[in-house]
Amino acid sequence: MDNSYTDRHWQSPDGLTLRFRDYGSATGRPPVICLHGLTRNARDFEDLAPHIAAQGWRVLVPTMRGRGDSDYAEEPASYQIPTYTADLLALLEAEAIDRFVSVGTSMGGLITLALAAQQPDRIAGTLLNDVGPVIETAGLDAIKSYIGQGRSFPTWMHAARALEEVHGPAFPGYGTQEWIAMAKRTLTLCNNGRIAFDYDMKIAEPILAADDAAVPPDLWPAYDRLAQKPLALLRGELSQLLSAQAFAAMQQRAPQAIAATVPGVGHAPTLDEPEARAVVDALLARLV
């Protein structure tokens, strides 16, 4: 498989330089845009993106502000879904993309829902990976327990073990090699020789400052708009963020959606699992 891509950039509305990976080439099909989770970056899709591109799709994989090689924001309050959605719209405009297929993991799925509320016609089809209109408090509490701590490690093995300490319950079947692979997607080697998480620790501030009593926006109308197009739904069997009950409700409201539970993993499936790949391929087949 050809894993090659072009490393490109675009400008956010507030002047940040943001990076994206561009796989494949433009065709008559809408491109696929893979949107990563809260503390992640484009490396999360380094296996999935070439798999999709090999099927004749152009694939764009942005790294959102405050992650990886994309600029960090001066104002931590900009690390929220409305800003990320505006950044995505700026990418669409820069690349003259009218419609695209969204593959959204966790935060990436919330960005997709936010865009569906504003401009649903921009979305040709969607995969929501372990996220939906209902977010469980237990899952949010788990994220708050580790985000923004700023730890660093002397070796990749130390980093892998630290990830296992936090995420072991979500990936009980992982061995050393899987944890090291996750570490290399999530962390980066710094100039001082230490290995640190590859995101701005300030992305935690809006989440930690949020009022737990605040009423979240009703995302069901946006979800219903996504359900009018080809839609695929994935849930990790052990997920704390997307409950089995919410997942069932999503399927009830979108009976034509492709849906699968990835066994033995929690939040969030990597999309490299065979069950996840089958759902990705089935969604793309509906869009050809």
Q: Are 20 and 64 in contact (CB under 8 A)?
A: no
- Mean pLDDT per 10-residue segment, the chain (288 residues): 89 98 91 97 98 96 98 96 97 97 97 97 98 92 88 97 96 97 97 96 91 68 98 98 97 98 98 98 96
Range(s) of the domain holding residue 243: 6-138+215-287
CATH of the domain at 253: 3.40.50.1820
Q: Please tell me the distance from the alpha carbon of residue 162 to that of residue 187, in angstroms, as a whole number.
A: 11
24 falls within a domain = yes
SS3 content of the chain, % helix, strand, coil (to 5): 40, 20, 40
How far is Cα of residue 78 from the mean position of the Cα atoms in its chain? 18
How far is Cα of residue 287 from the mean position of the Cα atoms in its chain? 21
196 falls within a domain = no
- Which residue's structure tokens are 């405050």? 66
The predicted-structure confidence for 214-264, as pLDDT tens digits, reads as follows: 446 799 999 999 999 999 999 999 999 999 999 999 999 999 999 999 999
Cβ contacts of residue 46 below 8 Å, gap of 6+? 3, 185
Domain tally, the chain:
1
171 falls within a domain = no
Q: Are 72 and 57 in contact (CB under 8 A)?
A: no
181 falls within a domain = no
Cβ contacts of residue 56 below 8 Å, gap of 6+? 24, 27, 29
The predicted-structure confidence for 6-18, as pLDDT tens digits, reads as follows: 999 999 999 999 9
232 falls within a domain = yes
Residue environment code for 41-70, b if the CB has 16+ CB neighbours within 10 A, otherwise e: bbbbbbbbbbbbbeeebbbbbbbbbbbbeb
183 falls within a domain = no
Q: What is the mean pLDDT of the chain?
A: 95
pTM: 0.96
The residues pairing with 149 across neighbouring beta strands, listed in sequence order, are none
111 falls within a domain = yes
272 falls within a domain = yes
